[in-house]
Amino acid sequence: MHKAFTDSLFPTMVVGSLPRPRWLRDLVEDRKAGRVSHERADALMDDAIPSAIRMQERAGLDFVSDGEWRRESYVKVFADAVDGFQNDLIEGSPGRTSSLKYPAVVSPLQPRRPIAAGEAAFLRRRASAKTIVAIPSPYTIGRRMWSPECSTRAYPTREEFMDACIPIVREEAQRLAALGIDAIQIDDPWLALLVDPDFRKRDGVANLDREIELSARCVNQVADGVEGVPVSVHFCHAHFDRRHGTTGPYDVIMDALHEMRVERFAMEFATPDAGGIEVLKRFPDDKALGLGVIDHTDPRVETPEEVAARAEAAMSFVPKERITLNPDCGFAPSSVNPMDLDEAYLKLKAMCEGAKLLRDRRG
């Protein structure tokens, strides 16, 4: 387990995003529509984001983010920094989550600016706690922002588009490491969506094994370029307005965890939609588990005792020294996700108090 996770037992981490105040959500939309310049939006966000950092530190977190408040979404952040996309050409996820539209790649990619390094540098200057920054996986970018109707002139196949994304994401991970960020997270929720056979049918997945192989290859080709900083992969069942897009246990993707050359996996387990923790029998014995102990889709705030109980149940399969605690997912992976910031604070605080209980019992 990487030394970044061993300062104490059960280090607490965010997955990334926090709910945005309504005025900030409006600002993101106004920036996208051109009603506010990027420079003016950045100045306003520079004033707002320190409060998101302080909130996490007050909750007691060991690793904090900037709340991803500058981003329209966890994956669109790639299209915001790289030329070659046209906005709102792809309909939202099939199934139960939002109908938000996504950009489509329509011409060869050309990096315009760093994806997350600017926000990461700001976070590092303002944070007292350790820092974690998330960037999207080339696999999830490919699944989200390539379409046969719009993209084949630029990239004839989805896999060719993913291959073009890999060096851009890898270079960004290297930038984050050079900045001194304490942990890097690769967001690859599409891997977990594949566990749901109904989703695979809706999304036209014909070869499950091939898709899992692509996800692992994309992660490895990004992570192999990073030195000195632990890399996590986060995957989840996707959510919007307290509803998951898929359901099901992780059985069919567990072998991929053994193939990915990263230090940690942040996984949903608090939600019943994830199918239970028995699958941890197959968790790699050389990786850290980012155990989801907070259900962001449930408005009820967990107690510290519930958090501790969830971690103790996982210890039947993964030793305490390899367990970190986190919410199941970011609270608002897209800026318009209607979540409550005070609720997020109380849930994070309960998670950190639960970690203290565990350290008192197990330390």
3: pLDDT strictly greater than 80 = no
The span from the CA of 111 to the CA of 11, in Å, is 35
Q: Are strands 130-136 and 183-187 parallel, antiparallel or unpaired?
A: parallel
User: How many Å separate Cα 44 from the centre of its chain?
Assistant: 24
Q: Any residues with CB less than 8 A from the CB of 342 and at least 6 apart, and which? A: none
User: What's the pTM?
Assistant: 0.96
- The residue among 23, 66, 32, 73 whose CA lies nearest residue 46 is 66
Q: Tokens 């050389």: give the residue.
A: 286
Q: Any residues with CB less than 8 A from the CB of 96 and at least 6 apart, and which? A: 243, 244, 245, 246
**Per-residue pLDDT reduced to its tens digit, 227-273:** 999 999 999 998 888 888 899 999 999 999 999 999 999 999 999 99
Q: Are strands 63-64 and 130-136 parallel, antiparallel or unpaired?
A: parallel
The span from the CA of 130 to the CA of 143, in Å, is 31
Q: Is 26 exposed, middle or buried (0-12, 13-18, 19+ CB in 10 A)?
A: middle
**Residue 350, pLDDT score:** 98
Q: Which domains does the chain have, with CATH numbers?
A: 3-362 (3.20.20.210)
**Per-residue pLDDT reduced to its tens digit, 13-51:** 999 999 999 999 999 999 999 999 999 999 999 999 999
* Band of pLDDT at residue 99, cut at 50, 70 and 90: low
